[in-house]
Amino acid sequence: MSPSSQISRSCFPLVIGVLLSLLAVLIPNRLDAQLWGSDRRGVPEWENDVKFKSDEFTFVRIKYSSMGYGGYWGEKWQIDYPDSDLNFSYRLQEMTSLKVNPDGKILELTNPELFEHPFVYLIEPGHLRFTEAEVRALRTYLLGGGFMLVDDFWGEREWYNFYREIKRVFPDREPKELPLSHPIFNCVFPLDEKPQIPNVGLGMESRYHGITWERYDAREVHYKGIFDDHQRLVCVICHNTDLGDGWEWEGYNEYFFREFSEKKAYPLGINIVVYALTH
């Protein structure tokens, strides 16, 4: 598919295989899922019927070119990888009727293959700098039918950095706060609040003090959207929250799983993907 052509998106018939309340029953305690010595970190593998290959959903993580050290994980774009991507792909195929690629994919914004995928995930944009080629490619992708989920950056300084970069992509479009009534909060799993998901360490400690924000200037969670000329939502921006940790560390601590993975990170992530694929 050429970058200038519209990305086709089927309205998949969505059948929820189990209720959210049964999620805990179906999820084994997989502390070994975090072991770095296994290719799939203990996440089950599955095969899709070849006749559904053209309808298969692939979780695509964006590798951006600007440097940024992410500690144990390497560069910023790598944070939570691969556990978050593998776990989320598994839960998405388990909880819906979508045919999901078990492996996911990493792509640069300038890779022509990007236009074969209707959904991409960009993490830790608080220090990124798009190249001019990345700016052009992202604009073409999103206006051509693609969708981007932005996640895991905190505080005002990181917000203004990302805001500057996304305004290079869309100088004439402003991110708008999404109300709780928007379908991303209820199209599959209804949420009664805009969830704030902290890193796993703070999440475990929050049972004692209730604090889920990572910085003094990040107390309020924001979910903003960018729309095209037809009012199609092309980008969801998750600020002062971390869905990726909710997916990555589901097997590390029971309280974190029950409070953040099960109730918040997975339901919202599934809602966003389903919405992106059906609108």
CB neighbours of residue 181 within 10 Å: 7
- Structural domain includes residue 238: yes
Handedness of CA 156, 157, 161, 167 (dihedral sign): positive
Q: What is the 8-class DSSP label of residue 164?
A: H
Strands 176-177 and 222-227: antiparallel
Handedness of CA 78, 81, 84, 89 (dihedral sign): positive
Tell me the longest C-alpha to C-alpha distance in the chain.
Answer: 53
- For the CA atoms of 225, 237, 174, 139, what is the dihedral angle to 10 degrees? -100
The count of structural domains within the chain is 1
To which residue do tokens 């505080």 refer? 155
Predicted model pTM: 0.85
- For the CA atoms of 153, 156, 161, 163, what is the dihedral angle to 10 degrees? 90
Q: Please give the chain's pLDDT, 279 residues, in tens.
A: 443 444 444 333 343 333 333 343 334 333 333 333 346 778 888 888 887 777 899 999 999 987 655 444 458 999 999 999 999 999 999 999 999 999 999 999 999 999 999 999 999 999 999 999 999 999 999 999 999 999 999 999 999 999 999 999 999 999 999 999 999 999 999 999 999 999 999 999 999 999 999 999 999 999 999 999 999 999 999 999 999 999 999 999 999 999 999 999 999 999 999 999 999
Q: Which domain holds residue 212?
A: 26-278
Give how far Cα 154 sits from Cα of 87, 95, 116, 160, 202, Å.
23, 29, 31, 10, 14
Q: What is the 8-class DSSP label of residue 265?
A: I
- Structural domain includes residue 21: no
**Helix (H, G, I), strand (E, B), or coil: what is residue 235?**
strand
CB neighbours of residue 111 within 10 Å: 15
- Structural domain includes residue 58: yes
- Structural domain includes residue 5: no
- The whole-number pLDDT of residue 243 equals 98
Cβ–Cβ under 8 Å, residues 144 and 5: yes
Residue 216 sits at φ, ψ, to 5 deg, of -60, -30
Q: Which two tokens stand for residue 270?
A: 């599934």
- Structural domain includes residue 20: no
Give the domain CATH number at 206: 3.40.50.12140
- Structural domain includes residue 16: no
- Structural domain includes residue 13: no
- Structural domain includes residue 89: yes
